[in-house]
Structure 1
Amino acid sequence: MKNKSIHINEQKLNHQYGYRTVKRLFDVVASTIAVVLLSPVFLIIAICIKVNDPKGPVFYSQTRVGKDGKHFKMFKFRSMVTNADELLAKLQAQNEIDGAMFKMKNDPRITKVGRVIRKYSLDELPQLINVIGGSMSIVGPRPPLVSEVEQYTAYDRQRLMVKPGATGMWQVGGRNDVDFAEMVELDLTYIQERSIWLDLKIMFETVKVMIVPNGAY
């Protein structure tokens, strides 16, 4: 059962002026440099996706919920078949995670290339564009789907008090091996304790996870 013990002080969050300024500056500079340096990787992934499924698009955008419940378009490399969203309704009964989130280890919607890029979190790289645009941060809670937020309790909605992140404590703390309640606790712990040092630690752990994958699928 979820341990409902973390209650975020919104006033304290709003007064983190120095931290938020440095975080935003770092997000823009680091993400811009990363997009430039990783452009060859972007190209290779794009070619592989097209070879595997010539008719489908390289990128996939999906409406997610950000800070204060605002909707935004999140970008990823397409790792599933083009009609994945339509097939989801048929697979809901096979959801392997309790709570307001869908995860299925052997999801039939995932393409061959998709399995590889998801394992090493390469499908997440286009989210750097979201970071530059300001709808996301490099580090923060996982950005939820609109349908997931509709199932949130008031406790769960505390996750929406800060910008979502391309990586975070959930991603480095077990990812799909962690259930929804545990994910919420990890995210709220991050929000309560966030600092430049913690962000740098999570980014370092993210690089390690991309080299030696944890529960990503």
Structure 2
Amino acid sequence: MKRGGDLVVTVLAGSIALPLGLVIAILIRCTMGGPVIFRQTRTGRAGREFSILKFRTMRDMRYPDEPDAPRITRLGALLRKTSLDELPQLWNVVRGDMGVIGPRPTLPEQVVHYSERQRGRLAIRPGLTGWAQVKGRNSITWPERIELDLEYIAERSLALDVRILAMTARMLLRPTGITAAGGVNPGFPVPVTTTTRIVLPRQATAPRIPVEEAS
């Protein structure tokens, strides 16, 4: 979808999202206090980093390293289930950080582990929704999602964009794939490293030094 189409869809969606967003913001403020908006650094087109916006769904930590799951409020769980926590990202589209359709933007610490092929998903603006989102979302692995994103980039067209929008609307009415089996979303598979040791001659006094090699 071209930039002009992104803005048209955003304006149309914004007419509904703005009053709904105000109600959500008030509810968050009343149940969790401030801030209402959660910001997180993500990687966009050509590797450019930006701050993605979401409605806050978790209360503050009560102690260091408290797990995320207990911190999700009832309102937060509802926002996640309905994807309403993503509404503020319409502003990311207006700013040009994102488009309506494209690969979902991921964390910089994930992007650094992309293979050369996987970096191809950074060729276009990330999207509010995308081919991988409507084909499985969090119920499929990251490598599968990235392959679907690359498939979209190679075959993208107006007809495919319209199909994705229709499938997205259906998913909003009947949410699926929000979490993986067991309620835990799969993390990005970081390449395994192996550790070897250099053994020096016995007469040497230097200690053994571990050398890490990427697999």
Query: Which TM-score band (shorter chain)?
Result: 0.7 to 0.9
In the alignment, which residue of structure 2 is the partner of 1:70?
Answer: 48
Q: How far has the Cα of 1:35 moved from its partner?
A: 1.4
In the alignment, which residue of structure 2 is the partner of 1:28?
Answer: 7
Q: How far has the Cα of 1:83 moved from its partner?
A: 5.1
Alignment of 1:43-192 (within 5 A): 43-54=22-33, 56-82=34-60, 87=65, 107-192=69-154
Alignment gaps of 5+ in structure 1: 1-21, 92-105
Q: How far has the Cα of 1:51 moved from its partner?
A: 2.2
Provide TM-score, normalisation by structure 2.
0.77
Q: Matched residues in 1 for 2:104 and 2:49: separation?
A: 14
Percent of aligned positions that are identical: 44
In the alignment, which residue of structure 1 is the partner of 2:170?
Answer: 208
Aligned to 1:36, the other structure's residue is in SS state helix
Which is higher, the Rg of structure 1 or of structure 2? 2
Q: Matched residues in 2 for 1:23 and 1:69: separation?
A: 20
CA contact (8 A) 1:23 1:196 kept: no
Alignment gaps of 5+ in structure 2: 180-215
Q: Matched residues in 2 for 1:24 and 1:181: separation?
A: 28
Name the count of aligned residue pairs.
Answer: 178
Structure number with the bigger relative contact order (C-alpha 8 A, sep ≥ 6) is: 1
Per residue, is there more helix in 1 or in 2?
Answer: 1
Q: Matched residues in 2 for 1:83 and 1:65: separation?
A: 26
- Structure 1 residues 149 and 31, CA gap change in structure 2 (3 angstroms): same
Per residue, is there more strand in 1 or in 2?
Answer: 2
Aligned to 2:2, the other structure's residue is in SS state helix
CA contact (8 A) 1:52 1:112 kept: no
Q: Matched residues in 2 for 1:179 and 1:138: separation?
A: 23
Q: How far has the Cα of 1:108 moved from its partner?
A: 3.0
Superposed CA RMSD: 1.9
Q: How far has the Cα of 1:209 moved from its partner?
A: 0.5
Provide TM-score, normalisation by structure 1.
0.76
